[in-house]
A and B are shown apart, each in its own frame.
Chain A
């Protein structure tokens, strides 16, 4: 009996503790405090962020992973170790020859592979810049042919080659941010800053720099500067930026493995940052914590665990496992919520600002709704549906991170916290509701065929849940859609323009309205509601992602081409599940289905 009380608490707290353990600072590399280095604030993409974020996002774009195994020769011995994003960016910035040998470019396209004389193999899809370099002219030539073509019209090869070229470009810009890889290191550059031959390198550094590491000094209105710009000013007779010397020493110490000098120089840079932009440093520390905890990834893992526990509870120790699953769901929700709040604080914006964050928020909405349902009905079903929706949407979000920084700046017309907070948030909650209703319906359909005996009370509860959630979804999607119209009226003078995204939102509203009216008119009953609710998933997915693939209209900010097949597969699977929902219970066991099983009759 006691275990039933204590067990769930232990499980939930363990999950939270596991996530919190991610906050521990990164281990020093060769004794050097790369954790402190990763915290240094820089300006990139119009936003102040820690170098750690630049490193993670860049590595994610180039390799699709945030760390990799690498064998390095240390004192004649080959030592393999895991290279994290902070260590990688230090090598890219200061030890170009090491970085060039690291296998960071992931290439999956067979035609692109054959272009660089490689064969498609199961074992190696990762290549170093050194392996790719000989083929750069060819890659550039192919990419320059493909680049002007509209992304929708590109062939698979063209898409892949443009993608590779963009990643190479990013890599090279990173390498040319602090010093020119083929030129002198920053220390030597500083010593001979006035030499005429150095001018060309200053310009290269100023134009190529991927981020700006030097905070404005003194004057509040001054801009962040790149190393190249600071060198150019120094060459023109100004006193060199005090950050340049420290940055040069960081580089020299990183190359030489001089622990004391590295740590000292990084501490100096941090002190400069604190003096110039204290809030930027504080925000950097917050963002580092966010990066480390990776709340949406950890949340995803916890949701899976919760889901597995619910399944287990239907076979064994129902009470304990069901309560533990609920505890895990609560832990996952806490972490998910914490992540959302963190993003809101870091970005200074409402939770939904792009496709990625909409996925995170849709999941969150569905999970919170599911939690409420579980508290109301206590059948483990709310937990299962909430955990699977949370998991599914975080997976989708995870696959939308490939575009780099997920906290990018908002383009002018979207730069309105009021409308982001009202229209975007409301409509996203509408998506959550429609998906949750669909998930409940899927659960209902599967249960009908799998469960050995159906309790009518549970069945009724499920239909009640779906019905309530559809009402909820109709409310939010309608209000969200009309608020969107009002935003459009405010920003370009027409309430409704039949833009694809608007139409998508309207379809969700219409579909939910049709379900409810058909139910009120008695044209459908339980089975009809559930089948139609599953189709709601198709409509929501299409209006959420599908309209972006059309590439027309004012909402095409989130264009994506790769997701087409995933979306088609999702829609196909939903249609299949609708068939499952429509099929008579355990139809495969009977010779023939009895007629009239749950068929709609007018009331």
Chain B
């Protein structure tokens, strides 16, 4: 057998495998196992971490106890999904007859492929943020609840602030970050992914020598993954400019006080806050309502009456956002998610997902496809029964 023959034989083998129904069943079974594992893991890890571990990964890694490294023990959801999609597409082209009898199956499989594509698009492109807004307040930004940023704000001019933000990912022990547009550089002396602040106890050693942070103790915590908790990062930074140090400052979202220093006549303020994304429009909360059923505490409805204003589009209108009724605007969807401060604070979940329409199309396709296919099968089976009855 020549090399080219062997190659074509191997290619045939691979092609057969890719188009085989066995592969479909193996993939579906693997997917079931992954789903079961992911569901059980949620009790310990929380939904996000479990999904990242099993579904949004190409391989499932298992940390070898005590070894400090992991080995891949199972294909992840992304791998199985991709293989299944390739299998589906290949089998469709190769094996299935192109006849009206199989029209239903064709539509179903097209819909399924779209569903997988939608899940990939969501996994890659979906951004979830929050918009917390108090009654009467106007907000023109959304926040990433799980990411923080270090901000250096030039507050010299009382009329406006000039905000420079440094994403949390750039912070790390010993890193030096240039603040663009300013003469400043920040030396990161210490960085904690998750830490709580406490009053100084015995044996207190200050980590900072400037601002309120000088009198606060930092207690490092393990990073958390559960859905209802998020990390509270902290850092000690040293602003340096023109060869001059402005001291060691502690920054953390838990510090309420403003921390400012002056360099060459300009006042800068340092803070750690949830990462913000500014919007070209703003929202004002006019009224938040929390209705309950009469004589009970069972919530009936939550709604936020919001005034939306977008000067660029010369838009200015009121919108009511309530349960099951989000506002879709400029590529983002705003959902009523939570509330606080005695029903005066409304928290909106903001989701940006370019693929949000795909599942709707896919569902329609699969529904129609299954109806067509089972309809054809049922007709055939009824005919056979009728024929059998005539014979008998």
A binds B: yes
Interface residues in B365-392 (C-beta closer than 8 Å to A): 366-367, 370-371, 374, 377-378, 381
Within 8 Å CB of A500, what residues of B?
Answer: 39, 42
Among the listed A412, A489, A547, which residue makes an inter-chain contact with B359, where contact means beta carbons less than 8 Å apart? A489
Within 8 Å CB of A474, what residues of B?
Answer: 370
A553 lies within 8 A of B47 (CB): yes
A43 lies within 8 A of B43 (CB): no
Among A114-122, A168-176, A307-315, A505-513, the stretch in contact with B: A505-513
Q: Does B195 contact A (CB under 8 A)?
A: no
CB distance from B324 to the nearest CB of A (A): 5
Within 8 Å CB of A495, what residues of B?
Answer: 118, 122, 356, 359
Q: Does A479 contact B (CB under 8 A)?
A: yes
Q: For the complex, count residues of B whose C-beta is within 8 A of A.
A: 60
CB distance from B369 to the nearest CB of A (A): 10
A496 lies within 8 A of B119 (CB): yes
- Chain B CB within 10 Å, residue with most, of A43, A471, A485, A498: A498
A491 lies within 8 A of B335 (CB): yes
Bound complex: CA of A45 vs CA of B377, how far in Å?
A: 49
Assess A498 versus B55: contact at CB under 8 Å? Given A415-B301, A493-B333: yes
Within 8 Å CB of A498, what residues of B?
Answer: 35, 38-39, 42, 47, 50-51, 55
Interface SS of chain B: helix
B374 lies within 8 A of A223 (CB): no
A507 lies within 8 A of B301 (CB): no
Within 8 Å CB of A503, what residues of B?
Answer: 35-36, 38-39
Assess A494 versus B370: contact at CB under 8 Å? Given A489-B359, A521-B22, A521-B25: no
CB distance from B108 to the nearest CB of A (A): 9
Among the listed B28, B42, B359, B371, which residue makes an inter-chain contact with A486, where contact means beta carbons less than 8 Å apart? B359
Bound complex: CA of A425 vs CA of B305, how far in Å?
A: 32
B351 lies within 8 A of A550 (CB): no
CB distance from B289 to the nearest CB of A (A): 11
Q: Does B279 contact A (CB under 8 A)?
A: no
Within 8 Å CB of A510, what residues of B?
Answer: 28, 31-32, 35
Assess A499 versus B47: contact at CB under 8 Å? Given A46-B293, A413-B323: yes
A486 lies within 8 A of B363 (CB): yes
Among the listed B38, B335, B377, which residue makes an inter-chain contact with A492, where contact means beta carbons less than 8 Å apart? B335
Assess A464 versus B300: contact at CB under 8 Å? Given A419-B324, A493-B128: no
Assess A489 versus B323: contact at CB under 8 Å? Given A517-B25, A521-B25: no
Bound complex: CA of A551 vs CA of B351, how far in Å?
A: 26
B351 lies within 8 A of A493 (CB): yes
Interface residues in A13-28 (C-beta closer than 8 Å to B): none
Q: Does A334 contact B (CB under 8 A)?
A: no
A514 lies within 8 A of B25 (CB): yes
A492 lies within 8 A of B349 (CB): yes
Among the listed A413, A493, A521, which residue makes an inter-chain contact with B349, where contact means beta carbons less than 8 Å apart? A493
Q: Does B326 contact A (CB under 8 A)?
A: yes
A212 lies within 8 A of B324 (CB): no
Within 8 Å CB of B366, what residues of A?
Answer: 478-479, 482
Q: Does B126 contact A (CB under 8 A)?
A: yes
Assess A475 versus B374: contact at CB under 8 Å? Given A482-B359, A482-B362: yes
B296 lies within 8 A of A409 (CB): yes
Q: Does B165 contact A (CB under 8 A)?
A: no
Among the listed B31, B295, B299, B356, which residue makes an inter-chain contact with A43, where contact means beta carbons less than 8 Å apart? B295
Q: Does B29 contact A (CB under 8 A)?
A: yes
- Chain B CB within 10 Å, residue with most, of A46, A475, A507, A552: A552
Bound complex: CA of A482 vs CA of B112, how far in Å?
A: 11
Within 8 Å CB of B299, what residues of A?
Answer: 411-412
Bound complex: CA of A111 vs CA of B222, how far in Å?
A: 40
Among the listed A411, A478, A490, which residue makes an inter-chain contact with B326, where contact means beta carbons less than 8 Å apart? A490
Within 8 Å CB of A409, what residues of B?
Answer: 293, 296, 298, 300
Q: Does B125 contact A (CB under 8 A)?
A: no
Q: Does A504 contact B (CB under 8 A)?
A: yes
Interface residues in A396-441 (C-beta closer than 8 Å to B): 408-409, 411-413, 415-416, 419
Q: Does B58 contact A (CB under 8 A)?
A: no
Interface residues in A80-128 (C-beta closer than 8 Å to B): none
Assess A412 versus B323: contact at CB under 8 Å? Given A223-B294, A498-B50, A504-B39: yes
Interface SS of chain A: helix
CB distance from A210 to the nearest CB of B (A): 10
Q: For the complex, count residues of A whose C-beta is within 8 A of B.
A: 59
A483 lies within 8 A of B293 (CB): no
Within 8 Å CB of B363, what residues of A?
Answer: 479, 482-483, 485-486
Bound complex: CA of A409 vs CA of B291, how far in Å?
A: 13
Bound complex: CA of A551 vs CA of B39, how far in Å?
A: 11
Bound complex: CA of A44 vs CA of B296, how far in Å?
A: 8
Bound complex: CA of A46 vs CA of B293, how far in Å?
A: 5
Within 8 Å CB of A483, what residues of B?
Answer: 363
Interface residues in A517-533 (C-beta closer than 8 Å to B): 517-518, 520-521, 523
Q: Mark A245-279, 1 if CB is under 8 A from B, else 0.
A: 00000000000000000000000000000000000
A518 lies within 8 A of B25 (CB): yes
Q: Does A497 contact B (CB under 8 A)?
A: yes
B296 lies within 8 A of A46 (CB): yes
Interface residues in B337-364 (C-beta closer than 8 Å to A): 337, 349-351, 353, 356, 359-360, 362-363
Bound complex: CA of A291 vs CA of B362, how far in Å?
A: 44
Assess A45 versus B359: contact at CB under 8 Å? Given A498-B51, A517-B25: no
- Chain A CB within 10 Å, residue with most, of B294, B350, B353: B294
Interface residues in B281-334 (C-beta closer than 8 Å to A): 292-296, 298-302, 323-326, 333
CB distance from B297 to the nearest CB of A (A): 9
The residue of chain A having its C-beta at the shortest distance from the C-beta of B366 within the complex is A478
Within 8 Å CB of A482, what residues of B?
Answer: 115, 359, 362-363, 366-367
Q: Does A224 contact B (CB under 8 A)?
A: yes
CB distance from B337 to the nearest CB of A (A): 7
- Chain B CB within 10 Å, residue with most, of A474, A482, A487: A482
Q: Does B148 contact A (CB under 8 A)?
A: no
The residue of chain A having its C-beta at the shortest distance from the C-beta of B296 within the complex is A46
Q: Does B21 contact A (CB under 8 A)?
A: yes
Interface residues in B1-35 (C-beta closer than 8 Å to A): 21-22, 24-25, 28-29, 31-32, 35
Q: Mark A447-475, 1 if CB is under 8 A from B, else 0.
A: 00000000000000000100010011011
Bound complex: CA of A493 vs CA of B347, how far in Å?
A: 14
Bound complex: CA of A495 vs CA of B292, how far in Å?
A: 28
Interface residues in A197-253 (C-beta closer than 8 Å to B): 212, 223-224
Bound complex: CA of A490 vs CA of B335, how far in Å?
A: 8
- Chain B CB within 10 Å, residue with most, of A413, A483, A493, A550: A493
Within 8 Å CB of B126, what residues of A?
Answer: 494
The residue of chain B having its C-beta at the shortest distance from the C-beta of A225 within the complex is B295
A464 lies within 8 A of B21 (CB): no
CB distance from B84 to the nearest CB of A (A): 11
The residue of chain B having its C-beta at the shortest distance from the C-beta of A226 within the complex is B295
Among the listed B25, B40, B55, which residue makes an inter-chain contact with A523, where contact means beta carbons less than 8 Å apart? B25
Listed from nearest, the 3 A-B pairs whose CB atoms lie closest are A46-B293, A493-B351, A521-B21
A and B contact pairs by CB, cutoff 8 A, 15 listed: A45-B296, A46-B296, A415-B300, A415-B301, A475-B370, A479-B370, A482-B359, A483-B363, A498-B42, A510-B35, A514-B32, A521-B24, A523-B22, A523-B25, A552-B42
Task: Beyond A482-B366, A485-B363, A518-B25, list 18 extra A-B contacts (CB 8 Å).
Answer: A43-B294, A43-B295, A212-B295, A224-B295, A413-B324, A479-B363, A482-B115, A489-B356, A490-B324, A491-B324, A491-B326, A491-B335, A493-B351, A494-B128, A500-B42, A520-B21, A523-B21, A550-B39
